[in-house]
């Protein structure tokens, strides 16, 4: 059993030394991830790496000045990839953000070229880390990174639809007045336009959504309301980007939640994006599905009950993602 040192709150399960998260890219998303991880104490040490040296150093220092009020021990920033060495979890956010109206898949070509550049260096300095990708289009980026790295599927995954699932739960919570934590509904598939809300397995508390009855607005969860809410989830990133240029706080919290699941070996069910192998007839694509996430990364992918329409939606989502990867030579 690994020993817990007196100083470390969340020691690495494998070595007993203080745990370390490395975040690549100190833009709107990377800094929000770092801030959320520091606040929640997901690791004792947090480092940020970015090619923009003055920015990454300033962002890290700004967060470090608040360490007193967090369970975190250190926050550092550098433009040198060596700062990533020894990380237990590497979170990649580097890459161009969506312009207003631009879809995530439209970012694919330039982002894949960036990944070809940075991923081998990250693997070199932190070969034993678990790698989580956030950069969009996250499912394609995760698939490409997995192929480039040649690591086992559990060790390389994407943030998938963890954020979309949280958005859906938020909307159902508003409709019912029940705490988001008690809304058990998942979004699977592409983190993007073809994603699928898994309504047929959704529950509020332990009541199946279909049996919930009238909502606060006097509606029922019929196909019209379901469609409305699912569309709002898909559209929400576009709406936020239109207003403020980026989405960052909720993805920061989502990533921190996933990081905690890994570094505390929680085995939480999270809709991360990982390589699917004969999941509901879908293979050879990275796509979000309810997955056990623990110290080894992305584990067992669960098989919830699906309607025919949900299954067809997921198959179409997988085909779309596979095609983008193929078009880019992967």
Q: What does the CA dihedral 240, 136, 191, 317 come to, rounded to 10 degrees? A: 130
Catalytic-role residue among 104, 191, 264, 295: 191
The verdict on 252 binding ligand NAD (CB under 6 A) reads: no
* Shortest reach from residue 160's CB to ligand NAD, in Å: 8
Cα–Cα distance for residue pair 153/297, rounded to 1 Å: 9
Strand, helix or coil for residue 54 = helix
The verdict on 94 binding ligand NAD (CB under 6 A) reads: yes
Q: Which two tokens stand for residue 153?
A: 């599927």
- Which one of 12, 19, 45, 159 is in contact with ligand NAD (CB under 6 A)? 159
- Which one of 246, 269, 302, 316 is in contact with ligand NAD (CB under 6 A)? 246
- Which one of 191, 295, 320, 322 is in contact with ligand NAD (CB under 6 A)? 191
- Which one of 29, 38, 129, 259 is in contact with ligand NAD (CB under 6 A)? 29
C-beta closer to ligand NAD: residue 176 or 254: 254
* Shortest reach from residue 29's CB to ligand NAD, in Å: 3
Residue identified by tokens 């919830």 is: 304
Cα–Cα distance for residue pair 78/51, rounded to 1 Å: 8
Site for ligand NAD in 135-154 (CB under 6 A): 135-136, 138
* Shortest reach from residue 133's CB to ligand NAD, in Å: 8
Stretch that binds ligand NAD, among 131-139, 149-157, 216-224, 322-330 (CB under 6 A): 131-139
Of 95, 189, 195, 193, residue with least CA distance to 135? 95
The verdict on 118 binding ligand NAD (CB under 6 A) reads: yes
The verdict on 168 binding ligand NAD (CB under 6 A) reads: no
Cα–Cα distance for residue pair 169/163, rounded to 1 Å: 10
* Shortest reach from residue 30's CB to ligand NAD, in Å: 6
Q: Which two tokens stand for residue 191?
A: 């983190």
Cα–Cα distance for residue pair 31/135, rounded to 1 Å: 13
The verdict on 27 binding ligand NAD (CB under 6 A) reads: yes
- Which one of 9, 17, 40, 52 is in contact with ligand NAD (CB under 6 A)? 52
Cα–Cα distance for residue pair 283/225, rounded to 1 Å: 32
Cα–Cα distance for residue pair 53/131, rounded to 1 Å: 23
The verdict on 256 binding ligand NAD (CB under 6 A) reads: no
* Shortest reach from residue 302's CB to ligand NAD, in Å: 20
Active site residue 191: yes
- Phi/psi zone of residue 127: left (φ > 0), alpha (ψ -120 to 50 degrees), beta? alpha
The verdict on 93 binding ligand NAD (CB under 6 A) reads: yes
Stretch that binds ligand NAD, among 50-58, 70-78, 170-178, 287-295 (CB under 6 A): 50-58
- DSSP H or E stretch at residue 204: strand 203-204
Give the residue ranges of DSSP H helices in 78-179: 108-125, 138-149, 162-176
C-beta closer to ligand NAD: residue 24 or 145: 24
The verdict on 38 binding ligand NAD (CB under 6 A) reads: no
The verdict on 91 binding ligand NAD (CB under 6 A) reads: no
Which residues fall within 8 angstroms of residue 206, CB to CB, at 6 or more apart?
Answer: none
Cα–Cα distance for residue pair 43/29, rounded to 1 Å: 18
**Under a CB-based contact definition with an 8 Å cutoff, are residues 18 and 42 in contact?**
no
The verdict on 247 binding ligand NAD (CB under 6 A) reads: yes
The verdict on 25 binding ligand NAD (CB under 6 A) reads: yes
Task: Give the chain's end-to-end CA distance (angstroms, integer).
Answer: 40
Find residue 48's DSSP bridge partners.
Answer: 23, 77
Q: Please give the residue ranges that form the binding site for ligand NAD (CB under 6 A).
A: 24-30, 49-52, 93-95, 97-98, 114, 118, 134-136, 138, 159, 163, 191, 246-247, 251
**Catalytic residue set:** 191
């Amino acid at each position: 059993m690994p020993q817990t040192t007196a100083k470390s709150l969340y020691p690495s399960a494998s070595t007993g030394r203080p745990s370390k998260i490395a975040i690549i890219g100190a833009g709107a998303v990377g800094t929000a991830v770092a801030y959320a991880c520091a606040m929640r104490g997901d690791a004792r040490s947090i480092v940020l790496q970015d090619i923009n040296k003055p920015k990454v150093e300033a962002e890290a220092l700004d967060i470090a000045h608040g360490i007193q009020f967090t369970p975190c021990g250190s926050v550092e920033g550098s433009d040198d990839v060596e700062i990533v060495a020894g990380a237990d979890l590497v979170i990649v956010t580097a890459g161009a953000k969506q312009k207003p109206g631009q879809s995530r898949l439209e970012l694919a070509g330039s982002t894949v070229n960036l990944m070809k550049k940075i991923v081998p260096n990250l693997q070199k300095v932190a070969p034993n880390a678990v790698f989580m990708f956030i950069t969009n289009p996250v499912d394609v980026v995760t698939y490409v990174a997995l192929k480039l790295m040649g690591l086992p599927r559990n060790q390389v995954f994407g943030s998938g639809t963890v954020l979309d699932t949280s958005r859906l739960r938020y909307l159902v919570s508003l409709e019912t007045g029940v705490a988001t934590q008690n809304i058990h509904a998942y979004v699977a598939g592409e983190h993007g336009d073809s994603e699928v809300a898994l309504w047929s397995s959704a529950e509020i508390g332990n009541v199946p959504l279909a049996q919930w009855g009238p909502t606060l607005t006097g509606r029922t969860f019929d196909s019209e309301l379901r469609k409305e809410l699912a569309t709002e989830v898909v559209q929400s990133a576009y709406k936020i980007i239109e207003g403020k240029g980026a989405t960052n706080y909720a993805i920061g919290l989502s990533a921190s939640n996933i990081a905690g699941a890994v570094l505390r070996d929680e085995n939480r069910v999270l809709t991360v994006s990982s390589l699917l192998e004969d999941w509901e007839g879908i293979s050879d694509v990275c796509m979000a599905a309810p997955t056990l996430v623990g110290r080894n990364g992305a584990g067992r992918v669960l098989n919830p009950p699906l309607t025919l329409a949900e299954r067809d939606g997921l198959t179409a989502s997988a085909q779309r993602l596979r095609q983008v990867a193929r078009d880019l030579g992967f």
